[in-house]
Amino acid sequence: MEHIKNGNNFLLSGGAGSGKTYSLVQVIKQVIEDNPTSKVACMTYTNAAVKEIEERVNHDNLNVTTIHDFLWDNIKHFQKELKSTLVKLINDVDVTKIKIENGTVPFDYFDSLEDEIQYKEYLRLKEGIISHDELLIVANSMFQRFPKLCDILKDRYQFIFIDEYQDTHKEVIEIFLTHLNQSKKKNIIGFFGDAMQSIYPDGIGNLDDYKGDEDEKVKEVKKEQNRRNPKLIYELANRLRVNADGLIQTHSDDNNAPNMSDGTVKDGNLKFAYSSDGNLQTFRDYLGWNFSDSKQTKELNLTHNLIAGKAGFRSLMEIYDRDRITELKNKITKKIKEDNIEIAEEATFGEVIDQVNLAVNPSTQIGQFLTQNNDLYLTARNYPFTVFRKIYLDKDQLLDDKKQDKEDENKKGSKRDHLIKHLFKVQNNISLYQNKQYNEFLRVTDFRYKFKSIEEKRVLQKNINELVNVENKTIEQIITEANVKGICLVDDNLMRFIAEKEYVYNRVKNVRFSEFQKLYNYLEGATPFSTQHKTKGDEFNNVLVILDNGKWNQYNFESLFLNSGTESVLERTQKIFYVCCTRAKENLAVYYHNPKPAVIEKAKELFGPGNVVCLD
């Protein structure tokens, strides 16, 4: 409040479990009390968080939204500037995410639109409709180009607070801390979050470039209490971040905090176990937890591969993670480049294979895959090579752990491809209806039924039920039905995906939609399994963390214990491990398969010698 009184932009940094949202709410209440005529904007990451804050603070002068909705609300009325900005971005060769098929467009391209530029759940650029990813780029450009827009925003809101700032895209931070400075008007911007929990690659991560003692800099306040974790766990968390930013937590001074009991902080339980056989069931039995209770107990893995079979989405995982035909294509493309081989423009993939004459050993994974999937291979050979060479498959396109909220599936920066994003929309829209969130359902579907008659309600309910009880219907069948019934319209992104990545679509379309529903349930937390990224923001009584890199070179748990490897990998691994450990409200267990002796010694240092267990 002292910083606010002095007119300073500020940053509240708090470790896991420190009650940052509570602090945000208290600041909002105090600001409203001290400034009864001032408008306050609060932005957070998900619709669920918006509702939580609105429930805690109810005031006419407070506007709580997601970041995307806030930005749109502040640019949507300036249609002339919106249209000129979109044209500029379409024609800018450096902007790859906003493009129209025929390349550049004239300055009056959008003037003939019947409707205004719109922001929706899907992208149809020719019709003047932008979606999540494009909005951030458009808003950033508009605030940079039009200083008067900055004046208007500052006049409108005297206070702007941003929750979970570390996950916010850099374009958003540029708007508030760079572009708004074009205006001489005054307002105060406050950020709430934790740099140690910045585990998404396209988030800003930290505000180090903006922090400082100078008047124009952001002033940092550190919140050092911990309300969630028992003593053994927050002390472990302190040891994990001591070399990061030096924020050291202690227990809360509030006797009603979850980690307090009769005026004393709970000790909690901590275990680090290892074995040479990799048998996790032995450790599960040792712990004695109820792993069927997904609300109280979670097993956290870095990768999805071990989870896929148990959770029931193995076929989709096989397509996205183990397609050996695209792997063969990659090898051929590499050989063409290395040997400078001239390929005809009209050549098929099969003709290129024959021309390059790359020998495939039948005993290798690629060779075995081609033998077992001969029909698929013969089909792939007929694709134009110029198209097929651009196809890329990776499991992140299926189940990227970019922070997802079931009410906002198309979250900025997600690596999921447009086919999987569309399937999430289908299932999300169904869920909105099932959960009786009818207004939201109508908004995201642009539904043609407006509940004008009992008969229309019956038709809608029948259509939804047919998409819930899918039986043996394929993914393609459900996409078609959802589109025809108006429950999830096919948009430009999906049509372009089908045209440009027909091979992938043809593989996925024949998988049963019920398998995708199981994937959806897994990613929405309805199973006892979770990846370590997905669990961020959650808390459970019992947490088991599996330290397995899963052949993912962006992380290395051995480097975490030995303080070795590249700086970026080490920092990334420290943060994900910190997030995992601080989910536990009572019991934390960590399992490491076949560690080096030096790893065991470091584990004893971190966890305490008495808490390190050999299961062999």
List the binding residues for ATP.
14-21
Euclidean distance between CA atoms 609 and 602, whole angstroms: 10
Residue 549 has a CB neighbour count (10 Å cut-off) of 16
Q: Name residue 543's beta-bridge partners.
A: 298, 588
Q: Are 136 and 412 in contact (CB under 8 A)?
A: yes
Q: Where are the beta strands (DSSP E) in 67-140?
A: 118-119, 129-130
Q: Are 158 and 187 in contact (CB under 8 A)?
A: yes
CA distances (Å), 66 to each of 25, 185, 215, 456, 524, in order? 16, 24, 29, 32, 20
Q: Are 290 and 495 in contact (CB under 8 A)?
A: no
For residue 612, give every residue at least 6 positions away whose Cβ sits within 8 Å of its Cβ, in sequence order, or none: 271, 272, 273, 274, 600, 603, 604
Token output for 398: 């299926």
Instruction: Write out the binding residues.
Output: 14-21
HEC letters along 560-599: HHHCCCCHHHHHHHHHHHHHHHCCEEEEEEEEEECCCHHH
Residue 307 has a CB neighbour count (10 Å cut-off) of 20
Q: Are 476 and 510 in contact (CB under 8 A)?
A: yes
- 3-state percent breakdown (helix, strand, coil) of the chain, nearest 5: 45, 15, 40
Q: Are 458 and 466 in contact (CB under 8 A)?
A: no
